[in-house]
Amino acid sequence: MMGNVFVLDHPLIQHKLTYVRKTETGTKEFRELVDEIAGLMAYEITRDLPVEEVTIETPVTTTKSYVLTGKKIGIVPILRAGLGMVEGVLRHIPTAKVGHVGLYRDPDTLMPHEYYFKMPNDIEERDLIVVDPMLATGGSASDAIQSLKNRGAKSIKLMCLIAAPEGVEAIREAHPEVDIYLAAMDEKLNDHGYIVPGLGDAGDRLYGTK
């Protein structure tokens, strides 16, 4: 089955994304906004989680209500920039476990290099949400997803703030079953592999490095 691409064009997400993109937005505000957007996206991305009916006692009466059922969640940030999205998701899914994939993109070849991989020991039984603000060539996310599959992961969603069409195509080609959730689909990549219009270097803007 071919995965779907969902652009979460909620007004709150779009408003915050505008400020994330702006050059004059400083590190503190940038980090807060990425966190807030990730939280709002988590709310949308979990809309289809299964629930089951249970019978409970309120102080007044017996009633039927709903609780989550089905698989547990795992959040997988791609280091560094993906870290900026973790807390926002955890606010809504506080019992999720977090696995980390360390990847950096070689600035000359644009090829990703894995330097860290640490997962909960039951990833094959979890619904995993891979988070990274930027999906540019798609190389980093594609490698991260492949690493997860190699270790037994069966259910993976990808959540990014901004994607280039090239990155979306790369994921659809390599991992056709993975649903992709975005705050925005941008125009293109430039000659340096940056997303246009984009927001610049997400890791540098989150952590104040250059």
Give dist(CA 131, CA 77) in Å, integer.
5
Q: Is 204 an annotated catalytic residue?
A: yes
Three state DSSP letters for the chain: CCCCEEECCCHHHHHHHHHHHCCCCCHHHHHHHHHHHHHHHHHHHCCCCCEEEEEEECCCCEEEEEEECCCEEEEEEEECHHHHHHHHHHHHCCCCEECEEEEEECCCCCCEEEEEEECCCCHHHEEEEEECCEECCCHHHHHHHHHHHHCCCCEEEEEEEEECHHHHHHHHHHCCCCEEEEEEECCEECCCCCEECCCCCHHHHHHCCC
134 sits near ligand URA (criterion: CB under 6 A): yes
Binder among 80, 91, 100, 154 for ligand PRP (CB under 6 A): 80
Instruction: Give the shortest CB-182-to-ligand URA separation in angstroms.
Output: 14
The site partner of 135 among ligand PRP, ligand URA, none (C-beta below 5 to 8 Å per kind) is ligand PRP
- Determine the interface stretch with ligand URA among 31-39, 45-53, 173-181, 191-199 (rule: CB under 6 A): 191-199
- Nearest CB to ligand PRP, comparing residues 59 and 107: 107
Catalytic residue chosen out of the listed positions 21, 31, 105, 126: 105
The reply on whether position 201 binds ligand URA by CB under 6 A is yes
CB of 126 to ligand URA, least distance (A): 27
Distance between CA atoms of 125 and 61, rounded to whole angstroms?
A: 36
Listed residue (101, 148, 150) closest to 128, CA to CA: 148
Backbone dihedral angles phi then psi of residue 135, each to the nearest 5 degrees? -115, 95
Out of 74, 77, 88, 112, point to the residue binding ligand PRP (CB under 6 A): 112
109 is catalytic: yes
Instruction: Name which position in 21, 168, 198, 206 contacts ligand URA (CB under 6 A).
Output: 198
In the complex, the residues that contact ligand URA under the rule CB under 6 A are 81, 134, 136, 193-195, 198, 201-203
- Residues with active-site annotation: 105, 109, 201, 204
Q: Where is the binding site for 5-phospho-alpha-D-ribose 1-diphosphate, in residues?
A: 80, 105, 132-140, 201
Q: Where is the binding site for uracil, in residues?
A: 195, 200-202
In the complex, the residues that contact ligand PRP under the rule CB under 6 A are 78-81, 103-105, 110, 112, 132-141, 167, 193, 201-203
